[in-house]
Amino acid sequence: MKNRLAHPYAMLTLVALIWGANAVAGKLAVGHVSPMMLTLLRWIVACAVLAPFAWPHARRDWPLIRPRLPFLIALGVFGFSLFNALFYFALTYTSALNVVIEQASMPLIVFALSFILFCTPVTRWQMIGFVVTITGVAVTASHGDLSALASLELNRGDALMLLAVLFYAGFTVGIRSKPPIHWLSLIFVLSLSALAASFPLAAIEAASGAMILPDARGWGVVIFAALLPSIVSQSLYVRAIELIGANRANLFTNMTPVFGAILAILVIGEEPHPYHALALGLVLGGIVIAERRSGRKTAPALPPTL
């Protein structure tokens, strides 16, 4: 059982589940805690939880961390802080339907950035798998009516989400160049960087009069976001990239909207429909096509650190 849970596919499936839950939680947070305050409190709690466990490893790994510190700080700022701030901010302006469609574009951006920065080849089967999975995402987002996608309009929230996707795609590609340090050291440094970047964002929000301090529901979202999306999913995502590469790992993010739809049914009470099963089949089928046909030549594994 332990080996099965340690498999990169199992890791990435759990990551997608947590990210889908985070989208639902972010929507539930609207009006109960403001986006930048949520981002700040999320990283305060995450760093406090990580500190006693990560500090000994970070001290030991400091000789490797120090020369790469600016790079790691940039990863934390863009991949952890700005992505999540824009993600929560976008949900105040646009629908979850638009957000999941835009988030599903991330693998395509990862493919492009991997090719541009590292000359990582993108196979024909990976592209076919991407098209199949994106079709499943579209079926989910459109509630089974693909013609509904033509009526979507890009507003401020959509633009913010597309920028967030670009940031996290850059993080996904960049994390492959991290130093060979313990996973706790890595997540702790990235989380501290995200925390530092969250203070000015919260200050700007407060100065504009838009800050909302969390109520009971807001605190529930903060604790959830700090423990699962901030620590568990990020750790598993980094480890999976080490094992199978950014291109293959990021393809699994297309399962996020499917899980998000399922959780919306369970948590928010939306009515299930047959297209949910169709979408899940397309998403999983696309991943199988990309994985079984692309083989393991697209991205070498990095040295394990977990």
Which residue in 17, 31, 16, 80 sits closest to 267, CA to CA?
17
Please indicate, yes or no, if residue 300 is contained in any of the structural domains.
Answer: no
Where do we find the tokens 């199988």?
A: 288
Which residue in 240, 185, 255 sits closest to 5, CA to CA?
240
CB 167 within 8 Å of CB 79: yes
Question: Can you tell me the distance from the alpha carbon of 137 to that of 153, in angstroms, rounded to the nearest whole number?
Answer: 18
CB 169 within 8 Å of CB 113: yes
CB 257 within 8 Å of CB 141: yes
Please indicate, yes or no, if residue 141 is contained in any of the structural domains.
Answer: yes
Please indicate, yes or no, if residue 190 is contained in any of the structural domains.
Answer: yes
* Amino acid at position 52, single letter: P
Phi first, then psi: give them for residue 39, nearest 5 degrees: -65, -45
188 burial via Cβ count (<10 Å: 0-12, 13-18, 19+): buried
Read off the tokens for 51. Answer: 């500190």
Please indicate, yes or no, if residue 299 is contained in any of the structural domains.
Answer: no
Question: Can you tell me the distance from the alpha carbon of 39 to that of 205, in angstroms, rounded to the nearest whole number?
Answer: 11
Please indicate, yes or no, if residue 261 is contained in any of the structural domains.
Answer: yes
- 160: containing domain: 2-294
**Number of other residues whose CB lies within 10 A of the CB of residue 127:** 16
Please indicate, yes or no, if residue 135 is contained in any of the structural domains.
Answer: yes
In this predicted structure, what is the pLDDT of residue 98? 67
The pTM for the full model equals: 0.78
pLDDT confidence bin for 30, thresholds 50/70/90: confident
In this predicted structure, what is the pLDDT of residue 300? 38
**Number of other residues whose CB lies within 10 A of the CB of residue 286:** 25
Residue 296 pLDDT exceeds 60? no
CB 28 within 8 Å of CB 214: no
In this predicted structure, what is the pLDDT of residue 153? 59
In this predicted structure, what is the pLDDT of residue 302? 35
Number of domains the chain is built from: 1
Question: Can you tell me the distance from the alpha carbon of 283 to that of 136, in angstroms, rounded to the nearest whole number?
Answer: 5
**Number of other residues whose CB lies within 10 A of the CB of residue 164:** 24
Give the chain's mean pLDDT: 82
Read off the tokens for 91. Answer: 């949900």
- DSSP-H helix ranges across the chain: 2-5, 8-29, 35-65, 69-75, 83-90, 96-103, 106-118, 124-141, 156-174, 183-207, 216-227, 234-244, 246-251, 256-263, 274-294
- Cα atoms found within 13 Å of the Cα of residue 256, Cβ hemisphere only: 29
Please indicate, yes or no, if residue 302 is contained in any of the structural domains.
Answer: no
Largest CA distance in the chain: 56
Contacts of 259 (CB under 8 A, 6+ apart): 16, 17, 19, 20, 21
pLDDT in tens, 218-266: 999 999 999 999 899 888 888 888 788 777 777 777 778 778 777 877 8
pLDDT confidence bin for 62, thresholds 50/70/90: very high
In this predicted structure, what is the pLDDT of residue 192? 96
Question: Can you tell me the distance from the alpha carbon of 129 to that of 254, in angstroms, rounded to the nearest whole number?
Answer: 11
Please indicate, yes or no, if residue 301 is contained in any of the structural domains.
Answer: no
Question: Can you tell me the distance from the alpha carbon of 155 to that of 89, in angstroms, rounded to the nearest whole number?
Answer: 13
For the segment 70-95, the average pLDDT, to the nearest whole number, is: 89
Q: Is 270 helix (H, G, I), strand (E, B) or coil?
A: coil
pLDDT confidence bin for 116, thresholds 50/70/90: confident
In this predicted structure, what is the pLDDT of residue 301? 36
Rg (the chain; Cα; Å) = 19
